[in-house]
Amino acid sequence: MSHSTISHDGVSHHPLGAGSYYCEDNPIEYLETLTQPDRPAIKIFVGAQPNSSTHIGNIMNMCTAFALAEALTKRGNKVTVSMDLVDTAPTPEKSVVYDGVSYQRSLRLTKHSAKFEGDFLRILNRLHEVSGVDFELRKQSEIMGGPGVSNILREIIANHDKLGAILEPRYKKLGLRSACPKLGCGLADKHGITNQYREDSIIFCWPVHGSYTVSLLEETGVTALELNTPLRSLVRSLIFSRDTSVSWIQVEGRDYAGFYTEQLLWRPLTGTCMPVVFYSPLILDWSGPKFPRVFMLSRRRINLSTSKVSHTSSAMPNIKSRVEISRKYTKLSRDGSRNRRSYFETIPSSRYTRNFNHYPTLLCE
């Protein structure tokens, strides 16, 4: 990957929008009101698939979790960070297809995840040093072995037809897996296509090595189960809601905001009226926030200490020029010499569309 470096003015514009109106002055205080007052402590959840060394997305999530924990601690709360490593995720290039059914081998089975756990731990330790916030690091078998998980799974499989259709609309099946126990095999039906559900057990079927029954009443069977992302989110949310010892806050990447969470998490949790909303893409400024309307630019901006951004596209300098031009329009508007108008009305759509498409490639130096 080639990189080039540009300078920017270090000014980030934060317009109000949607939910931001309701926690404008103190979002941490607002978040605190959403925790359960009868629970003596707060845990901040953050998760990652250890299929590579920590990347910038993992680090962003982990930093957000610790920053949030630190801010809540300063308000007098007892807060820790709890990081889940999803070592049941598929190992790259270890999936196979038999009779049209996809099978995978998990990161823990191939020991792929073990190679990278140290990298996550090092960053967690560093964030602990910086923030003073304690943390725990858990693998999937520890989570699945927790109290009440067996009951939650039994409730879910009792409604596997309905929940499967919501959580995996392509296959209408629960993404519930167990690896073939045959030594050297370990294949697991990725989408749970061949699973058969009983009241307290699941029959898993594998190519070559037949079938196997896992009892949900035995801890060894439950801890060996693997859940796909939507099912794991549902189980996790139910575990957290029933944990009377702490109040949980989940830190998720913004790609899980909106449609995904509403339809694949809130819908099965509520089971009642659920509106369908389809979100349009946001136009972002150089530092990530929604690109503001001109009238917002003059009163909501934050100076950043960062002086450089590296990127993978030669189109990036145009992003800075967009901000500069917008500021110019703001000044004109305040002087009353020109009507307020969106900056994007002033340039050809193809130009900002091209720039917008490069945002996901931004890397901080």
Element (H, E) at 225: strand 225-227
Count of H helices and E strands in the chain?
13, 16
In whole angstroms, how close is the CB of 326 to Zn ion at the nearest point? 59
**Exposed e or buried b for every residue in 152-182, given b needs 16+ CB within 10 A?**
bbbebbeebeebbebbbeebbbbbbbbbbee
In whole angstroms, how close is the CB of 197 to Zn ion at the nearest point? 20
Nearest by Cα to 174 from 264, 274, 47, 270: 264
Q: Of 36 and 211, which has the nearer Cβ to Zn ion? A: 211
Nearest by Cα to 151 from 222, 210, 86, 212: 222
Give me the helices (H) in the chain, please.
Answer: 27-33, 56-74, 117-131, 140-144, 149-158, 160-167, 219-223, 229-242, 259-261, 267-270, 294-297, 317-334, 349-357
In whole angstroms, how close is the CB of 190 to Zn ion at the nearest point? 14
Nearest by Cα to 109 from 51, 153, 168: 51
Q: Of 182 and 354, which has the nearer Cβ to Zn ion? A: 182
In whole angstroms, how close is the CB of 184 to Zn ion at the nearest point? 8
In angstroms, the CA 203 to CA 198 distance is: 8
Q: Of 178 and 326, which has the nearer Cβ to Zn ion? A: 178
Residues 6+ apart with CB under 8 A from 259: 277, 278, 279
For residue 249, give both structure tokens: 């806050």
Q: Of 198 and 209, which has the nearer Cβ to Zn ion? A: 209
Three-state DSSP class for residue 299: coil
Q: Of 10 and 207, which has the nearer Cβ to Zn ion? A: 207
In whole angstroms, how close is the CB of 88 to Zn ion at the nearest point? 17
Q: Of 187 and 309, which has the nearer Cβ to Zn ion? A: 187
Q: Of 106 and 131, which has the nearer Cβ to Zn ion? A: 106
**Strands laid side by side in the 188-189 sheet:** 96-98, 101-104, 188-189
- Which residues in this chain contact Zn ion in the complex, by CB under 5 A? 180, 182, 185, 206, 209
In whole angstroms, how close is the CB of 210 to Zn ion at the nearest point? 8
In angstroms, the CA 226 to CA 215 distance is: 14
In whole angstroms, how close is the CB of 209 to Zn ion at the nearest point? 3
Q: Of 89 and 109, which has the nearer Cβ to Zn ion? A: 109
In whole angstroms, how close is the CB of 181 to Zn ion at the nearest point? 8
